[in-house]
Amino acid sequence: MIKELMQDAGDRMHASIRSLEDGLATIRTGRASPVLVEKLMINYYEQQTPLNQLASISIPEPRMISIRPFDSSTVSEIERSIMASDLGLTPNNDGKIIRLSIPPLTEERRKEITKIVGQRVEEARVAVRNVRRDTQNDMRDFGREKLLSEDELENGQKELQKLTDQSVEKINELGESKHDEVMHV
């Protein structure tokens, strides 16, 4: 019984960490990264399609993203989606390749971005704590129904707290890493 609860809690906590990793990867730093644009949704024949399925994305220079659409008729649609996104980048194209120049971040913008990183990290911590709370409630319910002994319940709660602490530590490491990346000039 405890094993199943712990497995479920571990999976849900891991999902929160993965979600944070994905969210932090899309936050723009001073360097170019294909992750910034690969999940950008493009209107392709009335279907919302991720950019990485419509084009090859490369980094020819540290502050430049190059997007080469597989179908050159999608260039204008890709440009439109980039302009509509919250990336704050202006695309340049030569008809076949779209280039995004990543400008260096100002100190003020870096501080704004670190606040956003902090918010996302806190949301992930809250998600992990919610998983812990739900699992603890399930354990208590099983204890009341006499499906778990008091010792099993206590050991399960200790194990759950260990898992929660490990997850929060991983979240904090991810947040600190991204903070350092953003603040590095």
Q: With a threshold of 0.85, does the pTM exceed it?
A: no
CATH numbers and ranges of domains, the chain: 2-25+106-183 (1.10.132.20), 35-101 (3.30.1360.40)
pLDDT along the chain (185 residues), means of 10: 91 96 82 84 90 92 91 90 84 90 86 92 96 94 89 92 96 94 80
pLDDT score recorded for residue 162: 96
pLDDT score recorded for residue 37: 87
pLDDT score recorded for residue 12: 96
pLDDT score recorded for residue 90: 87
pLDDT score recorded for residue 56: 93
CB 39 within 8 A of CB 90: no
pLDDT score recorded for residue 185: 63
**Sign, Cα dihedral of 127, 16, 180, 66:** negative
